[in-house]
Amino acid sequence: MPNRELMSGNDAAGEGAIYAGCDAYFGYPITPQNEFTAHMAARMPELGRVFIQAESELAAISMVYGASAAGKRAMTSSSSPGISLKQEGISYIAGSRLPAVVVNVQRGGPGLGGIGPSQGDYWQATRGGGHGDYRTIVLAPASAQDMFDFTAQAFDLADRYRMCVLVLADAYIGQMMEPVVVPDEPAPPPPPKPWAVTGCAGREPVVIRSLFLGENELEEHNYRLGEDYRRVEREALRWDAVQVDDADVVLVAYGMCSRLCREAVARGRAGGLRLGLIRPITLWPFPSQAIVDAAGHAQAFLAVEMSMGQMVEDVRLALEGRRPVGLLGRPAAVSEATEICERAAALLESSRPQ
Amino acid sequence: MKPLYKRPETLQPCITHYCAGCGHGIIHRLIAEAIDELGVRERTVGMAPVGCAVLAHRYLKVDMCEPAHGRTAAVAVGIKRVRPECVVFSYQGDGDLAAIGTAETVHAANRGEPITVFFVNNAVYGMTGGQMAPTTMLDQRTTTTPRGRDGGYHGYPIRVCEMLATLDGPGYIERVAIASPKHIRHARSAVLKAFRTQTDHNAYALVEFLSPCPTHWRLGPLEALRFVEEQMTEVFPLGVYRDRFAEALAPVPE
């Protein structure tokens, strides 16, 4: 019988990491993810694993770089301003082809912003975030259970593709307490990592690096990374579709907003408005084809997000002008289901041929 | 027949990219000799810094990482914490260690992380073309202090050993010089001791090398060695700044 426990999203992500065999956690306090760091401070040492409160986010992500280079499963967590600081390390992790897991419990910005929920880091998360030509896999949890599951799965994805996996949550999901089912069966073991720095006993030395100075060497490296990213696009794409097949208006929303949109779909349909929902689970890769397919019958699309409009650009890019795309964006709070229905109805009305 | 002198196994048989008269080649050799002597090459992991020594992984025959500029100590810490059986060292310049990486340096030392830090202080930024370093001396001309370093305007040379010696965490801190055969022989024993601080006592060690940069000092190799011995040691006094295991460590054989 699996354990069912009441946990905050932050604690659930920590337990998901522990379940996945995370060997080392490196963090730096920032609201609204402090429970996460405190949880790991309590749990990791009692399991004989590594916890360090680093001197900065720069140091924390660099410790992740080191532990991962040494072939172990390592992670860090933070919130938006801290994630900005970690971008340096994430770029080096990408360049060095290292697996790593980063959880971002987003708060509002820019700058110090606030400590309330936001989805304002979508662009940063889905476009690489740091310097250089790279990608990170981005998972968008919508519940404490997702925090557990996605953080655990992030380690497998990170190891499989040797890249950074970002779990993009927000203050609602991090702070909210919900029941979480912890699986009975053990997590799959990590794959062998012959590339890791472990001391060169019985083999030639290996080097973990992101500097490629030789003629064409960097270009070849970039092509190699590009191949990895195409593979991720083919294999790792995930989304949920809710009553999309006959929908006139398809809502597109991730994370917390997708929960309100589920309610809006039910409420809209009860009132005769045929709504559907596409909920991207991976924000990169983005479920563009699912959106294109829905455009076969849907009249319009409405992006619902906690920002002034970021994900909406990916919806528009997917549709390439095929259908009107509306935006319901609130930067610091979710929109209510009734408001979503009203906006969807108005969008449908305005997109009907005159 | 016992060879008196040979290439250490840890040193790759290749020509380095370092300038004539540069101290890096000598320091690489000292590190390689110490690794050979301790017999730890196959469990050693080194950090090559952003700076002139970024390609140190081509010259040292051990597993190596190439951290971001300044994050060298943090990456070393990440490795050592998950692989305590490894001997982990960082090789860092004055910019990496004492400017952009000051926080990582200070906090790794303060936690007493059992890593061995080799700090090459040549009072200038070499790879980027001779700019001011945190250790550039007063009145020293660099491309970013063209009229000489003015303490009131540019800040004063930072004495890393003295600064870290105020902390409780470190086990062993010493400043040595690459100036004469006598200095270099002493530096060799300091390198060995710094490794043994990690292998025998699981403690933090840092060795600072005052090291010549003839190219950016605009001096000949011999003049540069004299500059280290006569000018730099005035600002950066040689000596042991911390030695928690002075009695526990057996004397280093000459």
Q: Is A85 on the interface with B (CB under 8 A)?
A: no
Give the length of chain A: 354
For testing the chain B interface, which of A85, A93, A209, A217 should be mutated: the one with the most B CBs within 10 Å? A209
Q: Which residues of chain A lie closer than 8 angstroms to B82, CB-CB?
A: 23-24, 50, 66-67, 70, 72, 74
Q: With an 8 Å Cβ cutoff, are A50 and B81 in contact?
A: yes
Q: Is the pLDDT of residue A193 over 70?
A: yes
Backbone φ and ψ for B84, nearest 5 degrees, come out as: -60, -20
* Mean of the per-residue pLDDT values of chain A: 97
Q: Is B76 on the interface with A (CB under 8 A)?
A: yes
Q: Is A68 on the interface with B (CB under 8 A)?
A: yes
> How near does any CA of chain B get to the CA of A135, in Å?
18
Give the length of chain B: 254
Q: Is A205 on the interface with B (CB under 8 A)?
A: yes
For the beta carbon of residue A34, count every other beta carbon within 10 angstroms: 16
A308 CB-contact burial (10 Å; exposed 0-12 / middle 13-18 / buried 19+): exposed
Q: Is B26 on the interface with A (CB under 8 A)?
A: no
Closest chain B residue to the Cα of A69, Cα to Cα = B79
Closest chain B residue to the Cα of A98, Cα to Cα = B65
Q: What pLDDT, on a 0 to 100 scale, did the predictor assign at position B250?
A: 59
Q: Give pTM, 2 decimals.
A: 0.97
d(C-alpha A128, C-alpha A121), whole Å: 11
Closest chain B residue to the Cα of A60, Cα to Cα = B74
* Sign of the CA dihedral with A93 first, then A94, A95, and A99 last: positive
Per-residue confidence band for A352, with pLDDT thresholds at 50, 70 and 90: confident
Helix, coil or strand: residue A174: helix
User: Which stretches of chain B drop beneath a pLDDT of 70?
Assistant: 248-254
Q: What pLDDT, on a 0 to 100 scale, did the predictor assign at position A268?
A: 98
CA B33, B160, B52 angle in degrees (round to 5)? 55
Q: β-pairing, A239-242 with A275-280?
A: antiparallel
Q: Is the pLDDT of residue A96 over 70?
A: yes
d(C-alpha A70, C-alpha B75), whole Å: 10
Domains within chain B, CATH numbers bracketed = 24-243 (3.40.50.970)
d(C-alpha B57, C-alpha B14), whole Å: 12
Q: With an 8 Å Cβ cutoff, are A198 and B86 in contact?
A: yes
Q: Which helix (H) or strand (E) holds A168?
A: strand A164-170
B240 CB-contact burial (10 Å; exposed 0-12 / middle 13-18 / buried 19+): middle
Amino acid residing at A20: A
Q: Which residues of chain A lie closer than 8 angstroms to B43, CB-CB?
A: 199, 201
Q: Is the pLDDT of residue A143 over 80?
A: yes
**Considering CB atoms only, which of B57, B81, B85 is closest to A24?**
B81
Distances (CA, A) of A276 to A249, A295, A313, B82, B156: 6, 12, 19, 47, 65
Q: With an 8 Å Cβ cutoff, are B74 and A62 in contact?
A: yes
Residue B171 tokens read as 């086990």
For testing the chain B interface, which of A64, A87, A198 should be mutated: the one with the most B CBs within 10 Å? A198
d(C-alpha A33, C-alpha A105), whole Å: 6
Q: With an 8 Å Cβ cutoff, are A201 and B42 in contact?
A: yes
Q: Is the pLDDT of residue A1 over 80?
A: no
Per-residue confidence band for A153, with pLDDT thresholds at 50, 70 and 90: very high
Q: With an 8 Å Cβ cutoff, are B63 and A200 in contact?
A: yes
Q: Is the pLDDT of residue A354 over 70?
A: no
Q: Is A1 on the interface with B (CB under 8 A)?
A: no
Q: Which residues of chain B lie closer than 8 angstroms to A58, CB-CB?
A: 70-71, 74, 103-104
Q: With an 8 Å Cβ cutoff, are B78 and A24 in contact?
A: yes
Give per-residue pLDDT as tens, A117-133: 999 999 999 999 999 99
Backbone φ and ψ for B7, nearest 5 degrees, come out as: -70, 130
**Model ipTM?**
0.96
Least confident interval from A52-61, A331-340, B205-214: A331-340
Closest chain A residue to the Cα of B72, Cα to Cα = A62
> How near does any CA of chain B get to the CA of A106, in Å?
25
> How near does any CA of chain B get to the CA of A13, in Å?
21
For testing the chain B interface, which of A197, A209, A218, A221 should be mutated: the one with the most B CBs within 10 Å? A197
Domains within chain A, CATH numbers bracketed = 3-235 (3.40.50.970), 240-351 (3.40.50.920)
Closest chain B residue to the Cα of A55, Cα to Cα = B107
> How near does any CA of chain A get to the CA of B240, in Å?
27
